[in-house]
Amino acid sequence: METNSLVGALFLLVLIALLHENRRLCERASRLKTLHMELRQDLEVDPLTGLRSSAALARLRASDEAVDGVVAVLDLDHMKRVNDELGHLAGDEVLKEVGNLIRACIRKEDVACRWGGDEFMIVFRGQTAAVVQGRLRQIEERLWRFRLRRFGVFPLSISWGVVEARNLPLVEALAAADEQMYRMKRSRKREQAAREENRGIFEDAERPAGARGEGGK
């Protein structure tokens, strides 16, 4: 009897120890799972703009998801000038503001990502190109009145491309929107160059006759 009681007591102690160890391992696994989810969430979100990250966009592209709605690609104009003349802290402030404006114009079902640098991608699910064009113009209007800390009002503009997709793979819609965006950017650069050339012609015409040729001597 005493031997059976001793064996029973030992068995109970071993069982309690195993249950305690199992609970400890479960708690550790739960902490690791939470940490993994937090790490993945950090990787999914761009820390500067609050939008989804380029890594998240890469996964979307790899999934070959079909889009039913509108894909838009946005790119800030003259961002290099901001960084070169005002510094990268000012550039970061601009990117944060763009992220805020994009988040304000999308719905819960839409997806907005920072593609990299000063380029962004938005999927407007179930929307039309006309509605999206209007929202992008609103973003640009806000950027024209953008107030940069320590520098005051600093007008900014964006170029964009929009593709209305009906069950089109995201990769194809993204490439088409990207090409449209670059077309708009090239067109704006040509317009700006023409304005500057015309300004130079008018300024030259307004100079006194004897002073017009002095610059070329």
**Residue scoring higher pLDDT (19 or 167):** 167
pLDDT tens column, 139-156: 999 999 988 888 888 889
SS3 46: coil
Q: Quick check: pTM over 0.75?
A: no
What element of type H or E holds 114? Answer: strand 111-116
* CA–CA gap between residue 196 and residue 187 (Å, rounded): 14
Instruction: Dihedral sign for Cα 202, 205, 211, 217, please.
Output: positive
Percentage, residues of the chain above pLDDT 70? 81
- Identify the CA nearest to 94 among candidates 72, 107, 76: 76
**pLDDT classification of 51: cutoffs 50, 70, 90:** very high
Domains and CATH numbers, the chain: 54-193 (3.30.70.270)
What element of type H or E holds 153? Answer: strand 152-153
What pLDDT does residue 149 have?
84
**pLDDT classification of 191: cutoffs 50, 70, 90:** confident
What pLDDT does residue 35 have?
36
SS3 31: helix
- Identify the CA nearest to 157 among candidates 137, 177, 130, 133: 137
Cβ-based burial of 165 (10 A; exposed 0-12, middle 13-18, buried ≥19):
buried
Average pLDDT over residues 82-98: 91
* CA–CA gap between residue 129 and residue 135 (Å, rounded): 10
Average pLDDT over residues 176-189: 93
